[in-house]
Homo-oligomer: A and B are copies of this chain.
Amino acid sequence: MATDRRFGAGIWHFATYVDRYATDGYGEPRSILDAIELAGRVRDLSVVDLNYPFFGGSFTDAQIEDALRRNALDVIGITPEIYTRTFAKGAFTNPDPGVRRRAHELVTEAAGVARRFGAEYVKLWPGQDGWDYPFQVDHRALWKASLDGVGALAAENPDLRFVIEYKPREPRVHMSFDSVARTLLGIERIGLPNVGILLDFGHSLFGGESPADAAQLAIDHGRLFGIDVNDNLRGWDDDMIAGSIHPIEIFEFFHTLERNAWDGVWQLDQFPFREDSVAAADAAIDFLKLVDTALGRLDVEALATAQAEHDSIRALRLAQSALYGSRWAPGQG
């Protein structure tokens, strides 16, 4: 295992949740300060991504800073909440120009917070930007508004990085930034160096992508600015514990990052609705460490040979040998 591996998590990992059925929530509400304390109890967590505004109360930056320091946590990103009630019909693409302006202002504020906390990026997840019904929107106008909204922010804040986290859908039936390729196409059109992708492993699976392929594509376009992981059943963004369903594909994902010398933080984006959030993070990180060890054992030269021939069985056996280790009978790898 790489000795300098850093793990992170979105701070919402340690919040409680509501959904359309359990409207009273899956637990007592927590403030961002509560969440930071919980994050601090995770064995190997170094960095967090913070929602902005800070949830659960009125907190000063200093209060947040104190809590972070006390828990030995750095800030990797700031995520402005451009998907709450105000933005129900979209942030950058809202039909109301006043709401679009409000989105711009909120992200601009978040940019200030990012500077203050030394974050690597402002994360844009425009989950309400999209559509629900056929005929509902003018698709050209909607896409243009998406790019204009992000472009303006990136242009006004050249000292900061903006990362777009794409997802096929939810809460909208269809999200504008729905895939790695669509997002890259948009970023190329925006044409600014400080806009990139935050690739969520689960969103990629959900969208029918191979996350390893998606990561490679984003890297080849020079736009892979961040990643996070979790797991799901490919039909929804379940945000389950990383490695619980797709250990081999997550291993391929990190192998792809490794072979490209991508050295960012290994982050979690999990929603443990009914689980203890500290235990859920620990379980995921323990699995990620196994992956890290497996990376060290992977015979990359033999793998390159197998891949040059598209030899699926040989490649699979090499991956399995690295992952299952001594449990995997010698000589069979």
With both chains docked as a complex, state the minimum distance between the C-beta of A128 and any C-beta of chain B, in angstroms: 8
Q: How far is the CA of A179 from the CA of B317 in the complex (A)?
A: 30
Tell me the minimal C-beta distance from A37 to chain B in angstroms: 20
Q: Which residues does A use to contact B, with CB under 8 Å?
A: 17-27, 83-85, 88-90, 95, 127-128, 131-141, 143, 168-171, 173-174, 178-179, 181-182, 184-185, 188, 207-210, 212-213, 216-217, 220, 233-236, 238, 240-241, 243-249, 251-252, 255-256, 271, 273-276, 279-280, 283, 286-287, 289-290, 293-294, 303-304, 306-313, 315-320, 323-329, 332
**What CA separation (Å) do A304 and B17 show in the bound complex?**
28
How many monomers of this protein are in the complex?
4
- Known contacts A134-B249, A216-B140, A245-B246; is-contact A185 B181 (Cβ 8 Å): yes
Please tell me if the beta carbons of B25 and A85 are within 8 angstroms of each other in the complex: yes
Task: Select from chain B the residue with minimum beta-carbon distance to A83.
Answer: B21
* Bound: A179/B204 CA distance, A: 13
Residues of B contacting A279 in the complex (Cβ-Cβ under 8 angstroms): 313
Is the pair A286, B210 in contact by a Cβ cutoff of 8 Å? no
Measured between beta carbons, the chain B residues less than 8 angstroms from A182 are: 179, 181, 217
Whether A127 lies near B290 (C-beta < 8 A) is: no
12 residue pairs bridging A and B, Cβ less than 8 Å apart: A133-B240, A135-B315, A138-B308, A139-B256, A174-B213, A181-B185, A208-B208, A244-B316, A280-B313, A290-B324, A290-B329, A325-B326
Q: How far is the CA of A252 from the CA of B245 in the complex (A)?
A: 11
Q: Contact: B310 with A131, CB < 8 Å?
A: yes
Residues of B within 8 A of A290 (CB): 324, 327-329
CA distance A88 to B88 in the complex (A): 26
Within 8 Å CB of A308, what residues of B? 95, 138
Complex alpha-carbon distance, A279 and B313, angstroms: 7
Given A24-B84, A88-B273, A220-B140, does the pair A319, B134 have CB atoms closer than 8 Å?
yes
